[in-house]
A and B are shown apart, each in its own frame.
Chain A
């Protein structure tokens, strides 16, 4: 049983001030203790929300949000101050955010880690050399000239593979490579790109077909298939998303559509989310779609509204509808199994606005971190189930 923990406004005010002071005073933000200076809260209406009492569990998850603005305000918390920072991402355990920054007055840019719990935690240098490979796989490949260099992080060994110097993917299990090569024309537009695979050492190279303007997006988690995107017909606006088996090169079409883009694989690889756009002949086809990666599992299903999307878990997609001019942004959730959306955050309850589509859902699906348009700081929103 998780114990509820009420945190009163006064305490949060102090926490917020600590963070603000320290973050604004490089060299001090790693130090413990309460600063002696007195600073007010950040001068934004949203920041004032941090001064309100909110109820949360000991590990940071919100409880008891049963509707209404007051309840929602309990679920929102400011994490950073002074315009910090763009492009944050989550640690694998969902316990902290990472970002790259050089606070004002600091002489060094570093990768910082900011625990989301308890409130008031300060960013700490996670990797001063910006070389952290937390969560990265053992093997990686980088194009270099007309080859790719494969690196084994554990042993430090490197070896070349004749990929033509093209972008090269490494299977999650470290057992295979895959790459695509332009064979003429403007490869990103209308050239025919061939797909290849090999063992990790470059042996057993084989062709896996290709597509016009085609590319390999990523390996599937099973390491036996890759996702490929391209046109099956030269000059067509219709892009085909395919799952190609490494063993025999057999391709299965998962989805197709006009200028199909923004492919996002669900965490368990059951679904892909993607956008179809600029289709004048079939206007209804334009929008955000979810398709099962096993085509036999049924047809793609479409979100009720277009917008920006991130996966919450293997079956639930969180999205912020595209409603330009709206005074605040809604947060919705599409359940792929049910084929329906539900409202996670009604803007009438809590008016947030996201800057630059800069937001992410924690790997455990419990929180949404976003950069607020108003102050360009990172805020944390606890998501209801």
Chain B
């Protein structure tokens, strides 16, 4: 699998485009391209001036709710039109219906025609694709087998559990053997066993040269399976590249943190000693610090130690850096959880 070697964490600010440099790699027929793409819903920003080039493999789109993940996916599949810029998928416009012979999109919408059973659901849309009866039957059975739902094929989908519904929709999306799979929060609502088997499906699809674009608001979820990750925040791409690179670059970036606690002098001194503070501003009330730290992960671990070992009473710790704030706090939160 060919991967982009570029790793970058762009300092996207509302006035600046998040543009990353890319080496000349695969031809356009093999890539998904966003070229200065913006999408506005009236006056509300969806995504702003996104430039991306995704190559085959598994790409994770990560960001908190409202960061623009679904907008990016809907633009990629023609459900939305960009307000500005151009999207090309395998060098075709997403508005070209023929593209959908090669693209499957698992949307966030947990919905389906209520009168159908699982088999009919997959079979019927294969007929809409233009496959003949026998072909459609065979392909539907195969897709059901891939997601381990053959046993429920004849049951009405209204009786399916959340996990089964997610898997039957996945089966419908892969049934026509697309080259590009766009999956919006595909692991939502799955129990650990189903999650593991669905991840196996993703890996198998990637191994056969598919593009998989998977969104999640949980980093470690896509971290495990992605070759490349795109971090989104507030409609901007804030970092993009291979997972390790993005992690380290985000961690290397000094960020501003606001700490409300007692013993502010003591805390500031210990942070300087540990090289965890580049600069510190004390609050006038003596109950807070505004500091810049070069390593958020280590900073949070160390603050935990101060609380446990030195009885420091912490009222709040807030990331005060506006442009990477959401992503950063998200990253820290996830790592703290794990």
The answer on A and B forming one complex is no
- Partner-A contacts on B (CB < 8 A): none
